[in-house]
Amino acid sequence: MQLTNRAKKLEKKPMTLAERAYLPAIFQGLSITMRHFFMKKATVRYPEEVRPFSNVFRGLHVLKRDEQGRERCTACGLCAVACPAEAITMVAGERKKGEEGLYREEKYAISYEINMLRCIFCGLCEEACPKAAVYLQPDKMAPPRFERDEFIYGKDRLVEPVSPDERSIRGIQLTPEQADTLRSKLQSA
Amino acid sequence: MSPLFLFLSFVALLSALGVVFAKNPVHSVLFLILTFFSLSGHYLLLNAQFLAAVNIIVYAGAIMVLFLFVIMFLNLNVDTEPHKPALAKVAAAVAGGSLLLILVAALKDVQPTGVAAGTAFNSQIGMVAQLGMKLYTDFLLPFELASVLFLVAMVGAVMLGKREAGERNF
Amino acid sequence: MIELPALGWQSIVIFVVFALSLLIATYCTYAERVIAAFLQDRVGPDRAGPYGLLQPLADAVKMFTKEEFFPGGANKALFVFGPCLAMITALMSSAVIPFGNNMSFGNNAFFLQGIEVNIGMLWVFGVVSLGVYGVMIGGWASNNKFSLLGAIRAASQNISYELAMGMALIAVLMISGTLSLRDITLQQSVAGEWHFWNIVKQPLGFIIFLVCAFAETNRTPFDLPECETELVGGYHTEYSSMKLGLYLFSEYVNIFVVSAVMSVLYFGGFNFPFQYELRDWFVSSQGWELASAQNLITLLGTVGLFLKIFAFIFFFMWIRWTLPRFRYDQLMRLGWTILIPLAVFNILLTGGLILFGVI
């Protein structure tokens, strides 16, 4: 039965003298490996040499603030609905009087958790968000950790920091570039 | 008798006894190899370097490897050893004893000939060149016959290994 | 300078040769990994020290600190004896290799060679043929069927290829007429006349010897005794710690020795082109003494020999990372039905050429 028309018809011919002598084939192989000896090496020496991220890289999530430093998230739950991996959970709460400087809308997320072990970094939450609150950063990854519960990122590690140099409770620190942009933003505001 | 000679003889005798008395056939073969080594040491003491090297190459390097090879394949040990009847043991002792008797009787009166008491020891006698000259002049016919025999054996081995036409085992 | 009798100089040479073969074997492990990496478009170990040059040291520390393991039912004494024997036989064979011509200081003259014996070639051949015992004893004492199969493969492979190797050597002997490796080297270069290395006179013999050298050192494509795909780890399946290290190490020492033997037998040993012209130039135009010019030439020749050896070691590794393994029946067929008849033909050819005065 012919399954494909790309199959090559092979005829079993007796080997020629050159084939039986092995040596020409061996020299051919040796020349191939020797060519590779002088080729450019594919290795990236990691800690010294970092491969650039792609422009569309989707890394660690961040919950953005608006221009006045208020949290954008209104806990509508669209991201959680959109999430194919069901990695996002949140608890909504009402903004009290006097908290207008903290939250932009009247409803806000008391807790917002993303399980990085479940997350597949597809970016659907980012697309679903009506308030442009959740973003996947193009230059940061969720780092490996020792305990499973350390992968559940709460608001402490997700919300964009107010101060560029402060480290959040669970150890999220802005990269120098991010800190610089935040600093300039805060100064202009 | 130099101390080296005494030492080598001691090792040779001890390992030869080991060959006979070792329970494990693999140990026995290893003792035999040690025996060959001490014999090669004796050859070296007699300034017969070629003989010493060839003894090691042929006996220790090739034949004993084959011995070990076969013994490893057979997996001889105490469990698989067939029970020998007492009659066989007695017969073996008698045969071995009479061989010893004959050897002692034949060798007890032997005087080493060829080296007369007065002549000095020729230190070059065991060297390769001397040996070659002897082999290719006085012993040319036996030497050539032996080499033809070996060649025939080798050709036979090659012929046995050749694949017959149409035969495919894999 | 300390005055030493000739024997003293010679023992220093022996010690240096011993240390050098160990050092070269150590760095062979590093070279193997780097060459393998380069042939596969990688860079190899580069973390330990500059360019990873301390990698062998790190490996040694790892080997020494690993758990010493004895398999159940193993013959303990022989299990330890196996790797020792492999290492001893590997190191013994470098004793007779002439690493250089003679050096002279005042009245003291000595060879850059462990010992000069008139059966040097037989010594190397004999000791190399003993190398298989280390593998066999270790494989048998492990009480493991894979080890045993590896040991048996090693034995039959070594015996088969020793025959062809010996007959390739006989052709060299027919030209040189001596078993001394030093004399064979000296014959390959004569002052004031065109003299070729033995490779020109023995191209077929060299190829046979080369193939057999691969088989004798258990290197790919003939590394069936330790074939991972079929036998787990072959004869050293059960070995761990430095006992395994000794096995791996002895392989590299063997490669070094075989490379040295090939350089000496076929590639002129410590000779290099125009050495006599260079010596005479130093004496006539630079006003050197003949002895010191000769010493310089000797040292240059030693460097040249080591370059040849390194080239061969590189070739061994190049082949290893290029060719796949032979199947066992192919290996045996190659040895018995191709190499041995070729070697006999080579002897006949050499005899004919000598008879008609061509070489």
3-class secondary-structure state, position B116: coil
Residues A112, A158 contacting (CB under 8 angstroms): yes
**Residue B65, min C-alpha distance to chain C (Å):** 7
Of C118, C129, C152, the CB nearest to B72: C152
Q: Which residue of C has its CA nearest to A25?
A: C323
> Hey, what long-range contacts does C121-124 have (CB within 8 A, 24 or more apart)?
C121/C169, C121/C173, C121/C179, C121/C180, C121/C181, C121/C184, C121/C265, C122/B50, C122/B53, C122/B54, C122/B57, C122/C179, C123/B53, C123/C93, C123/C95, C123/C96, C124/C93, C124/C96, C124/C97, C124/C181, C124/C257, C124/C261
Computed over every residue of chain C, the mean pLDDT equals 83
0.95 surpassed by complex ipTM: no
The answer to whether position A91 is within a domain reads yes
3-class secondary-structure state, position A170: coil
**C-alpha to C-alpha distances, C57 to C46, C90, C217, C249, nearest whole angstrom:** 13, 21, 24, 13
Mean pLDDT within B37-62:
85
CATH number at residue A111: 3.30.70.3270
Q: What is the DSSP letter of C115?
A: -
Start-to-end CA span in chain C (Å):
46
Q: Residue A71 has what pLDDT?
A: 84
Residues C270, C99 contacting (CB under 8 angstroms): yes
Mean pLDDT within B77-86:
68
- Measured CA to CA, the distance from residue B124 to residue B106 in angstroms comes to 31
Q: With a CB-CB cutoff of 8 Å, which residues 96-155 of chain B face chain C?
A: 127-128, 151, 154
Q: Is the pLDDT of residue B162 over 80?
A: no
Residues in chain C: 359
Could you tell me which of A157, A117, A111, A108 has the C-alpha nearest to residue A137? A157
Q: Which option is the CATH number for B1-78: 1.20.120.80, 2.30.110.10, 1.10.260.30, 1.20.120.1200?
A: 1.20.120.1200
- Measured CA to CA, the distance from residue A170 to residue B95 in angstroms comes to 91
The residue segments making up the domain with residue A90 are 61-188
Q: Give yes or no for A35 touching C (CB within 8 A).
A: no
User: Among all chains, which residue has been given the structure tokens 């050539």?
Assistant: B144
Q: Is the pLDDT of residue C7 over 80?
A: no
The answer to whether position A12 is within a domain reads no
Q: Residue A170 has what pLDDT?
A: 46
- What residues does each domain of chain B span? 1-78
The answer to whether position A37 is within a domain reads no
Mean pLDDT within C76-83:
86
**Axis-axis angle for helices C55-65, C241-266 (nearest 10):** 140
- Measured CA to CA, the distance from residue A29 to residue C220 in angstroms comes to 14
Residue B163 to residue C333, Cβ atoms within 8 A? yes
Residue B158 to residue C163, Cβ atoms within 8 A? no
- Measured CA to CA, the distance from residue B28 to residue B20 in angstroms comes to 7
Q: Give yes or no for C321 touching A (CB within 8 A).
A: yes
pLDDT in tens, C26-37: 888 899 989 989
Q: pLDDT grade, residue C2 (50/70/90)?
A: very low
* Continuous segment of H or E residues that includes residue B122: none
Q: Which residue of A has its CA nearest to C339?
A: A21
**C-alpha to C-alpha distances, C284 to A109, C190, C293, nearest whole angstrom:** 96, 20, 10
| Chain C residues inside the 8 Å CB shell of B54 | 122
The answer to whether position A134 is within a domain reads yes
Residues of chain A where predicted confidence (pLDDT) is lower than 50: 169-171
Q: pLDDT grade, residue B76 (50/70/90)?
A: low
Q: Residue B98 has what pLDDT?
A: 94
Mean pLDDT within C64-82:
84
- Measured CA to CA, the distance from residue A146 to residue A58 in angstroms comes to 23
Please say whether the dihedral angle defined by the alpha carbons of residues C91, C97, C100 and C103, taken in this order, is positive or negative.
Answer: positive
Of C132, C136, C332, the CB nearest to B161: C332
Residues in chain A: 189
| Chain C residues inside the 8 Å CB shell of A42 | 41-42
The answer to whether position A148 is within a domain reads yes
Q: With a CB-CB cutoff of 8 Å, which residues 87-116 of chain C face chain B?
A: none
Per the structure, how many domains does chain A have?
1
For residue C197, give every residue at least 6 positions away whose Cβ sits within 8 Å of its Cβ, in sequence order, or none: C188, C189, C266, C267, C268, C271
Q: pLDDT grade, residue C46 (50/70/90)?
A: confident
Q: Is the pLDDT of residue B97 over 90?
A: yes
Residue C321 to residue A30, Cβ atoms within 8 A? no
- Measured CA to CA, the distance from residue C134 to residue C112 in angstroms comes to 29
Q: Annotated binding residues of A for [4Fe-4S] cluster, as ranges?
A: 73, 76, 79, 83, 119, 122, 125, 129
Number of H helices, E strands in chain A: 6, 5
For residue A140, give every residue at least 6 positions away whose Cβ sits within 8 Å of its Cβ, in sequence order, or none: A59, A60, A175
Q: Which tokens go with C181?
A: 């490796």
Mean pLDDT within C253-273:
87
Lowest-confidence range among B106-120, C89-103, C139-153, C197-211?
Answer: B106-120
Lowest-confidence range among A90-99, C68-77, C160-169?
Answer: C68-77
Mean pLDDT within C183-203:
79
Q: Is the pLDDT of residue B85 over 90?
A: no
Residues in chain B: 170
Q: Residue A163 has what pLDDT?
A: 66
- Measured CA to CA, the distance from residue C330 to residue C248 in angstroms comes to 25
